Structure 1
Amino acid sequence: MKLIISGASGFVAKEIIRQSLSRNEITSIVALARKPVSVPEKLSPDANPSKLKSIVIDDYEHYPEEVKKEFAGAAACIWTVAITPTNAKAYDFEEVKRVCQTSTIAGLKAIHESGISKSFRFLYMSGIAAERDRAKPVQYQSEYTYMRGETESEVLQLAAELDGVEASVAKPGFITAPGYIMKSIAATALQFALGLPNIGVVDLTTTMLDQVINGFEKETLTHEDLVRIAKAHQVSGK
């Protein structure tokens, strides 16, 4: 299968690429980013770097025909483009919404227009705190939190309207990784102060790849779902 990874230069996307290069089910990878994406370090012995193709795009809202041609025949996309809650404070909210929401919808539409496979899976990586119900009180960054929840709903609705597209939303807690000391410290602090659970980037990626390869278990993959599926892979040894 041909897999599109958006935001391919990001923290999570790099791990998606690393694992994808070792997955036999994935025959080619379109790494979409605003700068060139190189092959990750610490690859498994069975990795095939030749599967990776870096595609540079200036704006995730606009897709030239030459970029759309690279999407043609794709079977799945993992969409990771976003501004995190912490970084969002440094930007005007309209810019945050443009990156997190407008670009996501534009990207899904452009991918669909490119001539994807008849059964296409679009996995949108959101976050545990994103809230779709505006009637539900939110204590932290409410404007941002509701916007991310609204984006989840828009992705699922658009996918339902597009022929041959199935979508799911992954809602992980705080994402950690080996060697990232500050992330580990932040994860501990957030879990203690706010009860925010965390998940390792390797486990998160394993689960997301499982879902786009084998089919979505459900429309919304909660943090607990993501952890559970990752553990099942550990037990099975896959």
Structure 2
Amino acid sequence: MKLIISGATGFVAREVIRQSLSRNEITSVIALARKPVSIPEKLPPDANPSKLKSVVIEDYENYPEEVKNEFAGAAACIWTVAITPTKSKTYDFEEVKRVCQTSTIAGLRAMHESGVSKPFRFLYMSGAAAERDRGKPGETENKVLQLAAELDGVEASVVKPGFITAPGEIMKSIAGTMIQYTIGIASISVVDLATAMLDQVANGFEKDPLMSEDLIRIAKAHQVPGE
């Protein structure tokens, strides 16, 4: 399967790319970002770097034909472009809406128009605390699901992870444990998050939304060999 990963220079996307290069069912990875994407470091021995193709997009709201041509035949997309809830407080609301909502909808439309395969699975990464009410950050989730229902052959789901930790970062792990203890939202490692998202786009969406507990369970049941 051909997989599109948006926001490909980001923390989560880099791990998704790293794992994708070792998964046999993934034959091609389109890394979409506003600057060139390099091959991740510390690839496992079974990784195939030749599967990765970096595609630069100047504006996530506008897709030239040469970019759409790269999308053709794709079976899925993991969309990670966003402004995190913490950082969103420092941005104007309209800018947050443009990045998180307008760009996402434009991206999904462009992919559909490019001639992706059917079914085409679109997985949108949100946050555990995002509410789907109108005017709130989680409203984008509803917009994505509604558009997917309108487009022929498109399936969509939303992942809503809690605090995301990185391997070897003890302080982040401690912070994640404290957050889970105080507000009841489970933290998840970036490795498990990427594993679970790749499983869902490859094998079909189990449910919507997919919360941290779901993602951890899926990751443990479908670990990539060597992880």
Alignment partner of 2:36: what SS?
coil
Q: 1:139: which partner in 2?
A: none
Deviations 1:172-204 (A, max 9, x none): 111101133453343244234433320001111
- 1:236, 1:179 → 2: CA distance? 20
Answer with 182-191 or 100-109: which moved more. Answer: 182-191
For 1:131, give the aligned amino acid.
Answer: E
Normalised TM-score (structure 1): 0.90
Q: 1:186: which partner in 2?
A: 175
| Residues 1:6 and 2:6 aligned together | yes
Contact 2:195/2:223 (<8 A) preserved: no
Choose the corresponding residue for 1:228, options 196, 206, 217. 217
Q: 2:146: which partner in 1?
A: 157
Choose the corresponding residue for 2:191, options 202, 206, 222. 202
- 1:61, 1:209 → 2: CA distance? 25
- 2:202, 2:15 → 1: CA distance? 16
Count of residue pairs brought into register by the alignment: 227
Q: 2:41: which partner in 1?
A: 41
Alignment partner of 2:105: what SS?
helix
Unaligned residue ranges in structure 2 (runs of 5+): none
Alignment partner of 1:98: what SS?
helix
Contact 2:5/2:30 (<8 A) preserved: yes
- 1:216, 1:65 → 2: CA distance? 29
Deviations 1:54-99 (A, max 9, x none): 0111111111111000000000000000000111122111111110
Q: 1:74: which partner in 2?
A: 74
Percent of aligned pairs sharing the same letter: 80
| Residues 1:171 and 2:151 aligned together | no
Structure 1 residues 128 and 199: CA distance shift in structure 2, 3 A: same
RMSD after superposition: 1.9
- 1:209, 1:163 → 2: CA distance? 22
Q: For residue 119 of structure 1, report the CA deviation from its aligned partner.
A: 1.3
Alignment partner of 1:31: what SS?
strand
For 2:77, give the aligned amino acid.
Answer: C
Structure 1 residues 169 and 83: CA distance shift in structure 2, 3 A: same
Contact 2:186/2:213 (<8 A) preserved: no
Normalised TM-score (structure 2): 0.94
Contact 2:161/2:211 (<8 A) preserved: yes
- 1:113, 1:121 → 2: CA distance? 14
Deviations 1:19-38 (A, max 9, x none): 00000100000000011100
- 1:25, 1:128 → 2: CA distance? 29
Alignment partner of 1:122: what SS?
strand
Answer with 84-93 or 71-80: which moved more. Answer: 84-93
Q: 2:200: which partner in 1?
A: 211
Alignment partner of 2:192: what SS?
helix
Structure 1 residues 182 and 101: CA distance shift in structure 2, 3 A: farther
Unaligned residue ranges in structure 1 (runs of 5+): 135-142
Contact 2:122/2:156 (<8 A) preserved: yes
For 1:228, give the aligned amino acid.
Answer: R
Answer with 50-59 or 185-194: which moved more. Answer: 185-194
- 1:90, 1:173 → 2: CA distance? 21
Alignment partner of 1:216: what SS?
coil
- 2:205, 2:178 → 1: CA distance? 32
Deviations 1:203-235 (A, max 9, x none): 111110000001111132122211111122259
- 2:146, 2:103 → 1: CA distance? 16
Contact 2:61/2:103 (<8 A) preserved: yes
